[in-house]
């Protein structure tokens, strides 16, 4: 069928298989162009199908020739209805990896569940023996705790007082004021339960207890800090509490890995357009201004450039892993540069519906958003019939 973007609110209901394939191929080409990385050889990526997790899988496979197992939760296609983009991304990734003679298998299901953990452990046992890098890159609005059976929903709210600021509807370009009521009830606990470190620790405990982590194994989860502009709704809001918990969990995991000389890191990454971030109020306006400035300064990066730098310059640089005073890896260093933040803060005051098209990079935001779903890629004929039913080679 002919596949076009179909929007509903902040999501796109369709995805283009050829465009997603192009996206994956472009990322692979980028990694190959940067040369080999002396990285891990057996890698488990939890949240491997889109965003930072997909970039981590591609960087491992095509930068270090690593065998990868990818876990994700995506919607398969059915006749007449497209899959979610992560399905097509993973199909394309496996196809390219297998063509290059690189091991790649995938597991589609709820990574928070005991069943999917069991399936993953069994696959590692059968095929790889032990893992030397675990990337934890889940972004989810909901988690069922497998021990208690309780369903937790995360919310994006400030804590203590209502937060009012500008935001943009990036589809229409309309800048307006948004007010977000503060967290109440169990909002904080629930958000921490979904996006904090509990499930990360459960994964590492499960892997370690079955001796599936190699000597010196490393695990990395992704966090965000951002500027004072978004602090009340992000880092000092409910999601920030979850990130605090995730960051604290790195230390408990490192303790638990002492016997094998392993280590857990949190990497603080740059603000980027992903399915997760486009749903957060205020962030799209910030990102469109940030993109404008970072592109002008020649320091703009997407997920793949970020993760290439994380692996090459931080994790596998041949020497000590550089961290901040809280033990975190910082690849948000260019976003957080004083000169860049000062310029964004100035534009923020001036941005309204009339001025934003010139002040900000709304076009870049929209392009990146459509790219998430496989649209707007050069080299893809969007007028041609595309087969929506695409298989992931390792998933039967
Ligand atoms: P994303 O939405 O692109 O990726 C989320 C991944 O998690 C997908 O592979 C999805 O299939 C998987 N997933 C979600 N629920 C699942 C479940 N129940 N079981 C199995 N897989 C599941 O998100 P992203 O932006 O790449 O975020 C990844 C991490 O990076 C998050 O921790 C996020 O907070 C962090 N981060 C994001 C940004 C940003 O600006 N996007 C910046 C810094 C850090
Ligand atoms: Na991800």
Q: Where residue 41 sits, what CATH number does that domain have?
A: 3.40.50.720
Q: How far is CA 51 from CA 1, 61, 283, 305, in A?
A: 26, 16, 16, 12
Joined together, the tokens standing for residue 392 give 């992931």
Say whether 210 counts as a known binding-site residue. Answer: no
User: Which of 49, 137, 142 gets mutated to test ligand 1 (max ligand atoms within 8 A of its CB)?
Assistant: 137
Q: Supply the pLDDT for residue 279.
A: 81
Angle (nearest 5°) at CA 223 between 148 and 177? 95
Domain contains 223: yes
Distance, CA of 396 to CA of 394 (rounded, Å): 6
For residue 48, the CA-to-ligand 1 centroid distance in Å is: 8
In a domain, 168, yes or no: no
Say if 29 falls within a structural domain: yes
- Parts of the chain with a pLDDT under 50: none
371 found inside a domain: no
Q: Which residues have a Cβ under 8 Å from the Cβ of 381 and sit 6 or more positions away? A: 18
Going by CA atoms, what residue is nearest to atom 21 of ligand 1? Answer: 72
Axis crossing angle, helix 362-372 with helix 283-296, rounded to the nearest 10: 110
What is the distance between the alpha carbons of residues 154 and 128, in angstroms, rounded to a whole number? 34
In a domain, 176, yes or no: no
- Is the residue at 128 inside a domain? yes
Enumerate residues lining ligand 1, CB below 6 A. 47-53, 71-74, 86, 110-112, 137-140, 222-224, 269, 271-272, 274-277
The answer to whether 249 touches 200, Cβ cutoff 8 Å, is yes
Task: Give pLDDT tens digits for 350-372.
Answer: 999 999 999 999 999 999 999 99
Q: Which tokens belong to 375?
A: 């649209």
Q: Which of 276, 304, 309 to mutate to test the pocket of ligand 1 (most atoms within 8 A of CB)?
A: 276
Determine the structural domain holding residue 328 and report its residue range.
Answer: 7-154+186-279+301-336
Evaluate whether residue 167 is within a structural domain: no
Active site amino acids: 234
Q: Name the DSSP letter for residue 278.
A: G
Taking the CA atoms of 316, 38, 45 and 304 in sequence, report the sign of the dihedral they define.
Answer: positive
Rounded to the nearest angstrom, the gap between the alpha carbon of residue 340 and the centroid of all alpha carbons in its chain is 23
Q: Model's pTM, two decimal places?
A: 0.98
Question: Could you tell me if 154 and 194 are in contact, meaning their C-beta atoms sit under 8 angstroms apart?
Answer: yes
Greatest alpha-carbon span in the chain: 59
Considering its fold, how many domains does the chain have in total? Answer: 1
Rounded to the nearest angstrom, the distance between the alpha carbon of 307 and the centre of ligand 2 is 11
Residue 17 in any domain: the answer is yes
């Amino acid at each position: 069928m002919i596949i076009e973007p179909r929007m509903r609110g902040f999501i796109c209901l369709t995805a283009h298989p050829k465009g997603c394939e192009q996206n994956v191929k472009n990322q692979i080409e980028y990694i190959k162009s940067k040369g080999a990385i002396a990285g891990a050889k057996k890698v488990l990526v939890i949240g491997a199908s889109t965003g930072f997790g997909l970039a981590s899988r591609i960087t491992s496979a095509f930068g270090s020739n690593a065998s990868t197992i990818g876990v994700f939760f995506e919607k398969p296609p059915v006749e007449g209805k497209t899959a979610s983009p992560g399905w097509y991304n993973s199909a394309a990734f496996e196809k390219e990896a297998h063509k290059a003679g690189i091991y790649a298998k995938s597991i589609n299901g709820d990574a928070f569940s005991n069943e999917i953990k069991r399936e993953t452990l069994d696959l590692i046992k059968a095929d790889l023996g032990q893992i030397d890098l675990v990337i934890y890159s889940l972004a989810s609005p909901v988690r069922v705790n497998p021990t208690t059976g309780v369903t937790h929903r995360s919310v994006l709210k400030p804590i203590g007082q209502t937060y009012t600021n500008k935001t943009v509807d990036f589809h229409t370009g309309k800048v307006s004021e948004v007010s977000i009521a503060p967290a109440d009830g169990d909002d904080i606990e629930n958000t921490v339960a979904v996006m904090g470190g509990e499930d990360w620790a459960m994964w590492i405990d499960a892997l370690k207890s079955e001796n599936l982590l190699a000597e010196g194994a490393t695990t990395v989860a992704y966090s965000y800090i951002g500027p004072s502009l978004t602090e009340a709704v992000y880092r000092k809001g409910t999601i920030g509490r979850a990130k605090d918990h995730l960051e604290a969990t790195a230390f408990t995991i490192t303790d638990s890995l002492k016997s094998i000389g392993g280590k857990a890191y949190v990497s603080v990454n740059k603000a980027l357009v992903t399915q997760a971030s486009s749903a957060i109020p205020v962030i799209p306006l910030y990102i469109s201004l940030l993109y404008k400035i970072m592109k002008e300064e020649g320091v703009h990066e997407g997920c793949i450039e970020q993760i290439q730098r994380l692996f090459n310059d931080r994790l596998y640089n041949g020497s000590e892993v550089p961290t901040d005073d809280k033990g975190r890896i910082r690849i948000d260093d260019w976003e957080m540069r004083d000169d860049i933040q000062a310029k964004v803060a100035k534009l923020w005051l001036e941005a309204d519906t009339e001025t934003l098209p010139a002040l900000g990079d709304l076009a870049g935001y929209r392009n990146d958003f459509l790219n998430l779903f496989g649209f707007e890629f050069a080299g893809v004929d969007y007028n041609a019939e595309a087969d929506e039913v695409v298989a992931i080679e390792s998933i039967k």
